[in-house]
Chain A
Amino acid sequence: MQLLNERPKSLLDVSMHYCPGCGHGIVHRLVAEVMDELNIREKTIFVAPVGCAVFADTYFNCDAIQGPHGRGPAIATGIKRAKPDSIVVSYQGDGDLASIGMAETVHSAARNENITIIFINNAIYGMTGGQMAPTTLIGQKATTCIYGRDPKVNGYPIRICELLSSLEGTRYAERTTVHNVAGVVKTKNAIKKAFQNQVNGIGFSIVEVLSMCPTNWGVRADNPSEATKYINDQMVKIFPPGVYKDVK
């Protein structure tokens, strides 16, 4: 009898605080598996965001720092420039990266900083209780747009991968999902490539992951088909998965 999935060494053996059915835990595991496979755990510095993943620095078995809201790419830039041999990853959510941290994100991409960004897009502010995010879909209900997002009042969702791929400095931008097993496998490959780009000195790499938030979407957490169906039917129409930029 052989165990097929050992817990990655880069992830501490602790219980994570995420809600049932949340995609953060899946992406944490994928990041840890990639760190193990590339054997970069000891030189990785992990930048945790403000948002649901605020305690991520206590889950990873590597050096980590928890930064102010949206400033992940700026902190990562500083670390990478001061310690060029380290591998720096900034893990951010959509309220963090696409809203308050938009300037930091865009300018770190424009400067082609050699960092890796993992961007979790669940189309809502999770930690603060389900407010409208820049990525909230048209018609999606949130606590600050209770009749659904109206483009006349609230504007349109921001597509980060498309936006960053228009910048010359971005080297790799891919959008994936974690709502099914095929998506998880693709996400792992994308995260691996984003880390490899940094190891090889290619430059700014971002992976956008569409993830479930059953709690704040107002769907049942114990019936996964409701949240995964929402990604499958609604989110991928607005945020189509795929490789948006890949400069060798």
Chain B
Amino acid sequence: MPKQGKIEVNEERCKGCYLCVSVCPNKCLEKSDKFSKTGYYPASYKGSGCIACMSCAKICPDLAIKVYEL
């Protein structure tokens, strides 16, 4: 049974580079369709599929991602 996780993206810190989306092995992150206060379309968690592998958190240049293990 693989680990199960949850991702929280800080929308005010995310600058929409989508490096996290490109490295996620389970493709559980996506580009949000809502505009953030800072003027970007932030990355957002699809709601399921996270295996707490930390890839997104390791590559995020703006420390906008928090990963929880359930």
Contacts and interface: CB of A to CB of B under 8 A. Distances in A.
A181 B62 contact: no
Interface of A is mostly: loop
Contacts of A221: 16-17
Interface residues of B, number: 31
Contact of A22 (B55, B58, B61, B67): B61
Interface in A1-56: 1-5, 7, 11, 15-16, 18-26, 29
A21 B19 contact: yes
A224 interface: yes
Question: Which of B5, B6, B15, B16: most chain A Cβ within 10 A?
Answer: B15
A146 interface: no
B68 A181 contact: no
A168 B41 CA distance: 50
B45 interface: no
A225 B22 contact: yes
A78 to B, nearest CB: 31
A20 B15 contact: yes
Given A3-B66, A3-B67, 4 more contacts: A1-B69, A24-B61, A214-B17, A224-B22
Interface of B: 5-6, 12-13, 15-19, 21-23, 31, 40-41, 52, 54-55, 57-63, 65-70
